[in-house]
Every structure is written in structure tokens, then in C-alpha cells.
Structure 1
């Protein structure tokens, strides 16, 4: 078996001429070469492995993707494989998008964060690339829509709960979204970017509308009674994460609620203090692993987001992401020299990074 990328023909990664990219593992000849080439493409999101050594002999993959200016949509068909996205992978790749995937054949099972997911043919799933994934897929064909966070997250009440949402192909909302994704993918090659822009906005609204009942169901009714207060409080927290004064005490005074009421509102998140700490850790993670992060010391970043004890910050960071802040920064620094951009880098990689 060849080493990763050791014998990959860079012709497998064409430029983005005409806003379209085609990849065929069969064109590379040996299944081993097809797998390593595919692994490099999929590596912008996942660490990819085969379910067993025997699977290499029959491995095949092909992809056709289109850049519509605000999203990337493609059809993917591939052999069975295992997809992992750990905290280390999140740091290494720097991708912060949603994948909306309609499985026309095959499916997958596993974990999206802490949620068990099972996707069958006809179902549509949503994965948040800021969260962990560990799934095993059978031989499959899907339509994958890659959306930047800014286009979808503001349209739903709990953006973090989009991760692992599955819309069944036998449900009205599942069929509605599936039909739209099929039509968008089939028309992508003929759409100009000017024509695509209003469709992209409409697509984001449709995804949000179809996913919202599933998000509400996860909350088991806990947000229904207090939704207006919770939304306002969370918005206030997001705007004041860097303030050392942000605390449960400040929130009780700001919104005129008791401490027990505040805890009940944030009970699904482990309490309000836990929620604030996690949101601050998320911001630190993003800044530590961003390209500009090398210009700021880790301690400076931690203090900038409200942490006052560097040792306690490091412990909390490791508990949340499974690695130290320094390891996260080193993971960012270990990205291949040619990414993003550069000769031989898949066109889709550049498209997605520029969304």
C-alpha cells in the first residue's frame, strides 16, 4: 500500500474552471491510489479510514461539485468508509461550516457530538464542522451542500443543536428538503452566480425551517416556556463574553430573574456558568487555531476572553477539546504547506475556504 500522497497524480485535482470540479478514483487506476487521493479531498473535513484492510481492494470514489458563490454543492459516490472529526481535526482543518447531506443510496451510523445518529437512504442529515463526528458509512451516494456558518446559524434558535439533525425521507419536511437539494444539484452546472445568489438565501431559509422542529424536539419543551427570555439572555452573553463582569449575578440583575430561574433556563447546557465558560472556550479555540493566532500569546487570548487563571484555563480547555491550547496551536501549524491554495490542492478546498 503506498504512503499517503506519495504517488498521487496531481491531475486528479483539476482547477476550478467554470466553477465545477470532477474527481474519479477510477481514472487513477489502482484502488490504493484512488483511496489516498480521495482521502486528501475528504481531509478538508474528516479523517477518513476504511472499515477494514480488505476494503482497499474494491475502493472506489467519484465526485462532481459546483461552486455557486456562497455555497458548494456536489454529488458524491464512494465505497464504505469511516469518518472522524475530532477536536484535533477541527483545529487542523480550520473549517467552520455545515454539511447538509441527502443520502440517495446507503447511509451511516455513529455519533454527532454526543448524539447517536442513524441515516438511511432518503434521509437528509446536518453536521456542524465545529463539533466532533465519528460515523461509519456503507457504500453510498449523496448530495452534499456545504454552507458557511454565517448563512445558516442566525436563522435557527439553537445553532449548536443543528449538529446531528436527521430529516427522514418519509416525512413531509424531509421530502421537501430532499427535493430541493436534488433540484439545486441538477441545475448547478447551468446556474450563473447571479442567478444562484437568491437561491442560496432561499436554501438557507428552507434548511432552517425544516430543521427547526427537530431542534425544538431536542429541548423536550424546556425552551418553549422561557424561549423569549433565553434568546435575549444568550444574545446578551454572546455580546459580552470578553467582559470580566459577565457572570450569573450580572444576568440576574440585567434581566430581573432569580438565580434558580436562570439555572432552569440553562439547565440543558449544564447551568449558566457552564454555558458562559464553554462559549468563552469556543472563542479561545477559534482564535488559537486561526491563522492570525500566531501573533498573540495563548495566555493573552485566554485573558482577553475573561479567563483570569492560566492553569485553570488550560485544564478547562483540555476537558472541553481533549488537547491543551498549545497542542491545538501546533495542530493548526501542522496543516500542509499548500493549504489553502497552491498547486495540486483540490479546487473544492479553495472554494470552501473562501465561502
Structure 2
């Protein structure tokens, strides 16, 4: 049973950070955001002169981190290294207010979130996410506070709820009202807000019929097919016929299984583009001919063919992505005593404090562990 120290903390202010673009040197915006996000993901710019687009705020209360983020186009990559360290073992609920995000969790669970979409992400799974310039409200909740978290993990690592869904109609008002109220809330009031949204989300997860009654046989077959496609992306002729021969099924079966992916051709193209972005982020400095080799390696007919699809999907060209990745190596000089750096380290510690409390494969109540707070809550 989750406990709240309302009597002890009701008069204290809620722990908060704020990145005000007017108070941060423009050359340091991206570096500050990288530091704040480092426990959650690697951050790269997808445009020149990356900036905060408005006041970006974070609040910590009773183990839960709320955030209101306004940023330029960004690439976020959560790697197995982040997960092995045990940092940020949480589920993250995001409300897309402006802009667009899309990405992949694990090897083949894609999602897309235009404005108004609500997305629930399981951070026990590696991901690659790209955004246009965007505004998002979010709450990061430790896994052990959500009994229904075991229904996600590898089988359902990302869930998307449309604006007219029952889940969105329930969650969006309480999330937006909570973020508005946190500006003036005491720590005790903020604890109550966190308890309310955590309890509501947990109830929705445990009552989700699709999660509880997954068609395991069909999903296992689909996963086998997706794994096969992921291993053969370099084959330019890869398509439905390959799956029909490999899995002894009809084209109609293949089309039905991939219907929710937007079709098999769409799935293959997204997989190839995600692999290309991962390679670009990993390389940083590239040699002449790299983009031609990249196109050939991942099944594109030419560099121009890759560039056309890459621009349509990410909004930038492969060459621009290479230049953005290269900028990661040229961090500006840090004035470590500036308030924005202290806030960046505080946010990083808050996320780091969301430590494992239960195995993702078991219900959250299967382990007793006490909640852990951040390593610092005051003094900055």
C-alpha cells in the first residue's frame, strides 16, 4: 500500500526545476538537455541550432517525476546500457500537445503520436524515438507502483491511446490539471496528485481487455515473422512472398497479421530507416561513401532512394542527420555553477532514483521493496 506523508510535507514546496531558454546560453541548450536526460536516453539533435522552445519544467514528488517539455527536433535512444544500469525503471505516460513523435521499442514495436495522442512507454525495453519540434506533458512512474506493468514489457512495450478513447478521456484531464496545479502546489498536495494519476493508470492497465486477453498464438507468430524480416533487411526484394514460403501461409494471412503495422511494406521500410538512423548515431564521424554503403547495407536501391524515404520519415536528410550526430562531439564549455546546470543534474538524479522494485516479468506486488527517493532533494 502506497503511503503519503501529508502531515509532514503539506506545507513544503514541491521539488521543481525549470529550463528557461532566456537564461541559458544558446550554445548550451542541447548540452543541458543531454545532461538532464542522460539516465533515460542518449539525446541527439535533428536540426541545426537546437533550442528549448519554451520553459521546460520538471517536478519530483513521492517517487514520481512530472514534466512539461518544449524542445526542437530530437533523436532519443535508450540503449541496453541504460537498462543494465537499472536507471529509470519506469513506465512513462506522455500526452502529445504539439509536434509529432514516432519510434520503435525493441526490434519491431513501432508507434506514432500526432497531437492529442496519449502514449504509455515501458522503459525496460530499448527504444529509438525521433521527434519534430514538440511539446509534451509526461509523468514517469516507478514500475513497482503499477501492478499492471507486467502486462507490458516485451509483449506490449508501447501502448497508444487516441484522443477519443476511454483511456484518454480519463487520463488527459487529470494529467493536464495536475501539471497546471503543480506550479502552486505544496509537496503534500503534489503527493496526492501523484497517487491519483498512478492509481487511475494502474486500474486502466489491469482492466485492459486487450492486454489481459492477448491472442498469444497469433502474436507469437507475428513476432517470429517480424524477427525474420529484421534479420533479412539487407535483401532489397524482401516482402510478403518471403514470409509465405518461410512460414507456409497465404498472402492474406501475412496481410492480416501486419494490418496494424500499416502493412508489411511499411513495416519493412520503417525497420530499415530505424537501422540507418542507429548507424548514423553510432558512427558520429563518417568517411566518404558512408551513405552509399548505408543504403546498400539496408536494402535501399541507391543513396537517393534512401534520402527520399529518410526525409519523408524523419523530416531531415541523412546528411543532416550525420552533421547533427557529429555535433554531439563538440560540447560547449560548461559553467558548472550556473543554475541551469544544477537543475540538469537534479533532473538526472531524479530519473536515476526511479530504481527497480520488481522484475518486469512479474506483478509489481511480487516483491516487497521499499521506495527509494532521489539522492538529493534540497540544497540547490
TM-score, scaled relative to structure 1: 0.55
Deviation track 1:248-302 (CA, whole Å, cap 9, x = no partner) reads xxxxxxxxxxxxxxxx79968999xxxxxxxxxxxxxxxxxxxxxxxxxxxxxxx
- Corresponding residue number in structure 1 for 2:184: 190
- Corresponding residue number in structure 1 for 2:83: 90
The 5 Å alignment of 1:1-355 reads 18-30=14-26, 32-51=27-46, 55-61=47-53, 62-92=55-85, 94-113=87-106, 114-152=108-146, 154-155=147-148, 158-160=151-153, 161=155, 163-211=157-205, 216=210, 220-222=214-216, 344=342, 346-352=345-351, 353=353, 354=373
Question: Following TM superposition, by how much is the alpha carbon of 1:92 offset from its aligned partner in structure 2, in angstroms?
Answer: 4.7
Q: Is the 8 A contact 2:13 2:185 kept in 1?
A: no
RMSD: 3.3
Question: Following TM superposition, by how much is the alpha carbon of 1:104 offset from its aligned partner in structure 2, in angstroms?
Answer: 0.7
Deviation track 1:112-142 (CA, whole Å, cap 9, x = no partner) reads 2231111111111112221111111111101
Q: Is the 8 A contact 2:39 2:82 kept in 1?
A: no
Q: Which moved more, 1:343-352 or 1:176-185?
A: 343-352
Greater length-normalized contact order (CA 8 Å, ≥ 6 residues apart):
2
Deviation track 1:199-243 (CA, whole Å, cap 9, x = no partner) reads 323312221333456672595444xxxxxxxxxxxxxxxxxxxxx
Q: Is the 8 A contact 1:107 1:121 kept in 2?
A: yes
- Report the CA distance shift for 1:211/1:18 in structure 2 as closer, same or farther (over 3 A): closer
Question: Following TM superposition, by how much is the alpha carbon of 1:191 offset from its aligned partner in structure 2, in angstroms?
Answer: 2.6
- Report the CA distance shift for 1:43/1:93 in structure 2 as closer, same or farther (over 3 A): farther
Q: What runs of 5+ residues in structure 1 fail to find an aligned partner?
A: 1-15, 223-263, 272-337
Number of matched residues? 224
Q: Is the 8 A contact 2:30 2:50 kept in 1?
A: no
Q: Report the Cα distance in structure 1 between the residues aligned to 2:57 and 2:67, rounded to whole angstroms.
A: 5
Question: Following TM superposition, by how much is the alpha carbon of 1:146 offset from its aligned partner in structure 2, in angstroms?
Answer: 1.2
Q: Answer 1 or 2: which has greater helix percent.
A: 1
